[in-house]
Amino acid sequence: MIDSLDDLPASYPADCVFDVVLRDGSTIRIRPIRPSDGDGLQGMLGQMSRQSVYHRFFKVKDRLTPDEIETFTRLDYRDRMAFVAERGGEIVGVGRYHRLGGAPETAEIAFAVIDAQQGKGIARRLLQLLASYARDQGISAFEARVLADNHVMIRVFRNAGFSLRRELDEGVYTVQFPTEGSAATAAAEQEDEKRAVAASLMPIFYPSSVAVVGASRDPLSIGGRLFKNILNGDFTGPVYPVNPHAEVVRSVKAYRSVLDIPEHVDLAFIVVPAAVVIPAVKECAAKGVKGLVIISSGFSEIGPRGRELERELLEVVRSAGMRMVGPNCMGVLNTDPAVRLDGQFGPHVPPPGNVAMSSQSGALGVAILDYAAQLNIGISSFVSVGNKPDVSGDDLLLYWEDDPATDVILLYVESFGNPRRFARAARRIGKKKPIVAVKSGRTIAGARAAVSHTGSLASLDVAVDSLFRQAGVIRTDTLESLFDVTALLANQPLPAGRRVGIVTNAGGPGILAADALSAQNLEVAELSEALQDRLRIVLSPDAGVSNPVDMIASAGPAQYAACLEELFTTDEVDAIVAIFIPASPLGADETVVAIRDAALAHHGAKPFLLVYMSAVGAHEAIGDGEHRIPTYPFPEQAAWALAKATEFAEWRARDEGTVPVLDGIDATAARAVVERALFRIGDEPGWLEPDEVGAVLSAFSLAMPRGEVVADEDAAAAVAASYGTPVVLKVVSESAVHKSDIGGVVLNRRSEDEVREGFRTVWAAVPDPEGVLVQEQVAGGHEVLIGMTEDPTFGPLVVFGLGGIYVELLGDVAFRIPPLTDVDAAEMIGEVKSAPLLRGYRGGAPGDLEALRDALLRVSALIELLPEIVELDLNPVKVRLPGEGVSVVDARIRVRRIGGPWVPSRRDVPSEL
């Protein structure tokens, strides 16, 4: 099926293969056309109606001529490019462009899709991919010639969000639009992707019938437990056990194969040994099954052999247009009464509710469901994604985004498939519903020797924190805290502010709570005299009526009820934490009932958290089933959960800012420099030479001091004299990474003698000097670092920190996923602890913050537009007095050739499954 690599031209972009989910939920493969696709094209033409052929070729024809086939399939993948859409080995659509001779930044495009597959968004996907590809080939505009009655195609262009310029000439429209996506294109792409992904998952969440391949009579086996759970869960459709060795499983007639099932099957669970999974899946494909949940293990988690098997499995699944959860997973659960699908093999079933969960670890999945059941946290749906070669946490996010049953999304993540896609989706979804993720700390030490400052900084766990914060994701490190915050978010409104009122029947825990809240930057609000007077009336004379309100041990149901009534109705607090210690066993139940009733009476008014300090039954959310009150055994947990909810509310309310359009950027010039450098560097990543770095930075209007690389003393003296300012001398060599560490930098050279002496010093500092950079010295200024590194988890990151050479030591840095908005840039600067220095701390000189923000945005633009950059380290950037700007005095940029002529990995991949 796949040509051997030898048959493909060297320029063939072999990595530009995409499995894309279509509007109807099916999947299709899009790949660059190959020379051997002639027959496929011929076959495709046979499946097009006369009208479709006419629209494509402006004439009716039955066959492509050999010349045409040659033209369509022999491409250079640069000036002429085509993608084909393939399903079940047949070509069902083609999109191509060719660069116009007279206008090399413009290319003409054309599309064709067989009639049976029209209306699913194939042309639109082809267009998006072509646009993205063409952009990287320096093509800035597309032109299409469309017959005036080809409404379908005109609609494709318009719906894809491109702004069109149309000219009608003799019944043919010439449509022109930029390949650079606008905000509208991006929004259209995202909406498209979301709908398509959600549709594709419907057979998994809402099957009308299911088969269990490997349903076992053994009640202890996984197949046995799964089948039993589906039956016990009262699934609303028919369930068919498939078992070649049994006539009947649990009183249900069994079938030898899915193919023997007389009715249609939407979803199949596969619980058979790894070696027979693929044959079983092929039968499902033949049966027309649309969704698969593969419980079986023995795939990529066991090593190379398993990886190969998983790749094959995925191939079968994709070519049949199915979606697959797993392999190596514990199943799926949907508590919606419309299906009641308990398709997992664990023993615990949590109550129905509004929390959706996905887990990457199967075993942990069992534990998560157990806790959820114990803590009375209601679940809408649950998916154990296992090895996730197909359905991943990202897909599920898109599904849950618009799932009316889900208000809170929980993720247990070990790795992200496509971090950029995750971040983009999370940012958008967080506006509607909170996402809580357990992502444990990690070290990437050893992944690669981090050469630059920026590289070594990214291994800090703080990167994960910054990135989650940027995307509004609530991060927890432990399962316990996952449930602490979820119980709150799922059942209570978000706080409108930071002021908290505490009610307690014991002084000590009240103080603990107050301390814990303050430690989380929440405010234990001062209560007004009027409110304190009202509290005095309802409480014992010995009670303390300031915050925390200490009702003392004698407080019973009446006091809690009255006091909570006051705190719920006052506008002096934004959230309430009630602490109850059952001091005497008598009356404890009544008090809890009183607390519950008071809280339920005002449900939704402001967040309410109960700290029930007792070793038994203390952690279960109490309530009437629909409205639950999050309950914690210790005040610290409640304080932490409330702090997370507050931060989330603030994130949601904040202005995101925009990615500004910057002037003074010449991406073409910078790209030319990088391309020339890559020619010299070869296929392995390598560092740019100092003059190349200078050219790239200046193409993005990032200011550097004047400088020149010289080879001898005389030249150094001459350059220094021509500047007429103090200069800095720096050795240029392969081996000198941190030049000043080894005496390769001298500062403040004025006279000719000083310059000559300095030249000799730095030249002698390394065994392999190549030259010496004579650079104008920048007077004063704060030293900051601006960098970029590629994190194995998150992709490219922008890093900012203060402290020049001390930056690694201090680790006081902020990270963001590019592109940065203006607000991101400002926040990054404000986020580092030493930021006050830049504002002129204690009489120190302030810095030009506006110029610094601008520099951050320029670096963000640079790495967006030049994906060849894998590492960038501007250290230091001198931030001078307000109005004087910033100056990059030391810069390193590492670049890497990106597979083939195009870059599918990092940017703009429309849908990575």
Provide the minimum distance between the beta carbon of 869 and ligand ADP in the complex, in angstroms, as a whole number. Answer: 19
Q: For residue 442, which amino acid is it?
A: R
705 lines the binding site for ligand ADP (CB under 6 A): yes
Nearer Cβ to ligand ADP, position 211 or 746? 746
Where does this chain touch ligand ADP (CB under 6 A) — which range of 330-338, 589-597, 751-759, 771-779?
A: 771-779
Using the rule CB under 6 A, which residue among 81, 294, 641, 728 binds ligand ADP?
728
- Residue 705 touches which of Mg ion, ligand ADP, none (CB < 5 to 8 A by kind)? ligand ADP
Give the CA count within 13 Å in the CB-facing half-sphere of 112.
24
Nearer Cβ to ligand ADP, position 730 or 906? 730
Element containing residue 45 per DSSP (H, E): helix 38-46
474 lines the binding site for ligand ADP (CB under 6 A): no
Q: Which residues have a Cβ under 8 Å from the Cβ of 867 and sit 6 or more positions away? A: 898, 903, 906, 907
Provide the minimum distance between the beta carbon of 740 and ligand ADP in the complex, in angstroms, as a whole number. Answer: 3
Map residue 503 onto helix, strand or coil.
strand
Alpha-carbon distance values, 893 to 677, 694, 702, 788 (Å): 11, 10, 14, 9
456 lines the binding site for ligand ADP (CB under 6 A): no
876 lines the binding site for ligand ADP (CB under 6 A): yes
Nearer Cβ to ligand ADP, position 871 or 908? 871
* DSSP helix, strand, coil percent of the chain (3-state; round to 5): 40, 20, 40
761 lines the binding site for ligand ADP (CB under 6 A): no
783 lines the binding site for ligand ADP (CB under 6 A): yes
Map residue 20 onto helix, strand or coil.
strand
Provide the minimum distance between the beta carbon of 493 and ligand ADP in the complex, in angstroms, as a whole number. Answer: 50
Provide the minimum distance between the beta carbon of 605 and ligand ADP in the complex, in angstroms, as a whole number. Answer: 55
- Residue 804 touches which of ligand ADP, Mg ion, none (CB < 5 to 8 A by kind)? ligand ADP
- Residue 236 touches which of ligand ADP, Mg ion, none (CB < 5 to 8 A by kind)? none
340 lines the binding site for ligand ADP (CB under 6 A): no
Provide the minimum distance between the beta carbon of 775 and Mg ion in the complex, in angstroms, as a whole number. Answer: 12
141-147 vs 106-113, strand pairing mode: parallel
Using the rule CB under 6 A, which residue among 112, 889, 903, 913 binds ligand ADP?
889
Closest CA to 787 of 810, 759, 808, 756: 808
Q: Are 657 and 683 in contact (CB under 8 A)?
A: no
Provide the minimum distance between the beta carbon of 745 and ligand ADP in the complex, in angstroms, as a whole number. Answer: 4
777 lines the binding site for ligand ADP (CB under 6 A): yes
**What are the backbone dihedrals phi and psi of residue 380, each rounded to the nearest 5 degrees, phi first?**
-85, -55
775 lines the binding site for ligand ADP (CB under 6 A): yes
Report how far residue 702's alpha carbon sits from residue 851's, in angstroms, rounded to the nearest whole number.
10
Provide the minimum distance between the beta carbon of 639 and ligand ADP in the complex, in angstroms, as a whole number. Answer: 42
Nearer Cβ to Mg ion, position 112 or 807? 807
Helical ranges in 241-303 per DSSP H: 277-287
Provide the minimum distance between the beta carbon of 456 and ligand ADP in the complex, in angstroms, as a whole number. Answer: 13
Report how far residue 628's alpha carbon sits from residue 210's, in angstroms, rounded to the nearest whole number.
33
Where does this chain touch ligand ADP (CB under 6 A) — which range of 249-257, 339-347, 739-747, 851-859?
A: 739-747
Report how far residue 468's alpha carbon sits from residue 289's, in angstroms, rounded to the nearest whole number.
37
Q: Are 771 and 732 in contact (CB under 8 A)?
A: yes
Nearer Cβ to Mg ion, position 420 or 892? 892
Question: Facing residues of 580 across strands?
Answer: 612
- Per DSSP, which regions of 512-666 are E strands? 523-524, 549-550, 575-580, 608-612, 622-623, 628-629, 631-632
Where does this chain touch ligand ADP (CB under 6 A) — which range of 414-422, 492-500, 551-559, 740-748?
A: 740-748
Give the angle subtended at the CA of 534 by the CAs of 529 and 537, to the nearest 5°.
125
Provide the minimum distance between the beta carbon of 726 and Mg ion in the complex, in angstroms, as a whole number. Answer: 18
The CA R_g of the chain, rounded to the nearest whole Å, is 32
Nearer Cβ to ligand ADP, position 256 or 706? 706
Using the rule CB under 6 A, which residue among 340, 348, 738, 760 binds ligand ADP?
738
- Residue 98 touches which of ligand ADP, Mg ion, none (CB < 5 to 8 A by kind)? none
708 lines the binding site for ligand ADP (CB under 6 A): no
**What are the backbone dihedrals phi and psi of residue 91, each rounded to the nearest 5 degrees, phi first?**
-80, 125
Report how far residue 171's alpha carbon sits from residue 173's, in angstroms, rounded to the nearest whole number.
7
- Residue 853 touches which of ligand ADP, Mg ion, none (CB < 5 to 8 A by kind)? none
Report how far residue 902's alpha carbon sits from residue 132's, in angstroms, rounded to the nearest whole number.
9
- Residue 405 touches which of Mg ion, ligand ADP, none (CB < 5 to 8 A by kind)? none
424 lines the binding site for ligand ADP (CB under 6 A): no
Q: How many CB atoms lie within 10 A of CB 724?
A: 9
Residue with tokens 């990615």: 659
- Residue 486 touches which of Mg ion, ligand ADP, none (CB < 5 to 8 A by kind)? none
Q: In a 10 Å sphere around its CB, with 0-12 CB exposed, 13-18 middle and 19+ buried, how is residue 348 labelled? A: middle
Using the rule CB under 6 A, which residue among 739, 756, 858, 894 binds ligand ADP?
739
Tokens of 395: 């897909």
Nearer Cβ to ligand ADP, position 534 or 739? 739
Provide the minimum distance between the beta carbon of 727 and ligand ADP in the complex, in angstroms, as a whole number. Answer: 8
Provide the minimum distance between the beta carbon of 452 and ligand ADP in the complex, in angstroms, as a whole number. Answer: 9
Provide the minimum distance between the beta carbon of 89 and ligand ADP in the complex, in angstroms, as a whole number. Answer: 56
Contacts 24+ apart (CB under 8 A), 333-338: 333/369, 333/379, 333/381, 333/382, 333/383, 334/205, 334/206, 334/380, 334/381, 334/382, 335/378, 335/379, 335/380, 335/381, 335/405, 336/205, 336/206, 336/380, 336/381, 336/405, 338/206, 338/236
Using the rule CB under 6 A, which residue among 434, 804, 847, 867 binds ligand ADP?
804
Q: How many residues bind ligand ADP (CB under 6 A)?
A: 17
Nearer Cβ to Mg ion, position 407 or 890? 890
Provide the minimum distance between the beta carbon of 860 and Mg ion in the complex, in angstroms, as a whole number. Answer: 21
740 lines the binding site for ligand ADP (CB under 6 A): yes
Point out which residues bind Mg ion (CB under 5 A): 875, 890
- Per DSSP, which regions of 179-298 are E strands? 210-213, 239-242, 248-249, 252-253, 267-270, 291-294
Closest CA to 71 of 25, 43, 110, 105: 110
- Residue 778 touches which of ligand ADP, Mg ion, none (CB < 5 to 8 A by kind)? ligand ADP
Using the rule CB under 6 A, which residue among 890, 903, 911, 913 binds ligand ADP?
890
Tokens of 617: 């039954």
Using the rule CB under 6 A, which residue among 56, 99, 225, 730 binds ligand ADP?
730
Nearer Cβ to Mg ion, position 326 or 801? 801
- Residue 601 touches which of ligand ADP, Mg ion, none (CB < 5 to 8 A by kind)? none
Where does this chain touch ligand ADP (CB under 6 A) — which range of 595-603, 615-623, 641-649, 735-743?
A: 735-743
- Residue 740 touches which of Mg ion, ligand ADP, none (CB < 5 to 8 A by kind)? ligand ADP
Using the rule CB under 6 A, which residue among 581, 805, 845, 881 binds ligand ADP?
805
CA 559 to chain centre: 48
**What are the backbone dihedrals phi and psi of residue 208, each rounded to the nearest 5 degrees, phi first?**
-90, -15
Binding site for ligand ADP (CB under 6 A): 705, 728, 730, 738-740, 745, 747, 775, 777-778, 783, 804-805, 876, 889-890
